[in-house]
Amino acid sequence: MACDRTWLAHERTLMAWVRTATSMITFGFTVYKFFQFEVAHNVRIGVLTPRDFGLIMISIGLVTLLLAIVSRRKQTAALPKQFRRRRTSLSEIVAVLMFAFGILVLAATVLRS
């Protein structure tokens, strides 16, 4: 039972990181798209343009998600071998799908000017 609780705690933690990273990715893309419609000309106002801010937020979300996946893999590998049976991690599948989605959003933001 203790191993099951530990496994589920790791699942919940990864899903919390997925939620946080998804929020960062979508917030960055939303800021980029909102100001793309607001500013008709590509005029640089201040040090950081909305496009730059969006790229930074999307990148932070992707890095956060990647670090969460790597950290979870390390932590679950440290579980005792005799208690661990082969399990499919749904949270890890969701995390990988969100990472792929984030890459697509990043590419769409970078390629559009």
DSSP for residue 92 = H
Q: What is the pTM of this model?
A: 0.81
pLDDT tens, position by position, 11-61: 999 999 999 999 999 999 898 888 877 666 655 566 778 888 889 999 999
pLDDT tens, position by position, 56-93: 999 999 999 999 999 998 888 877 765 656 677 889 99
Half-sphere exposure of 23 (CA within 13 A, CB side): 6
- At residue 58, what are phi and psi to the nearest 5 degrees? -65, -45
Look up tokens 């100001």; give the residue.
35
CA pair distance 57, 7, nearest whole angstrom: 30
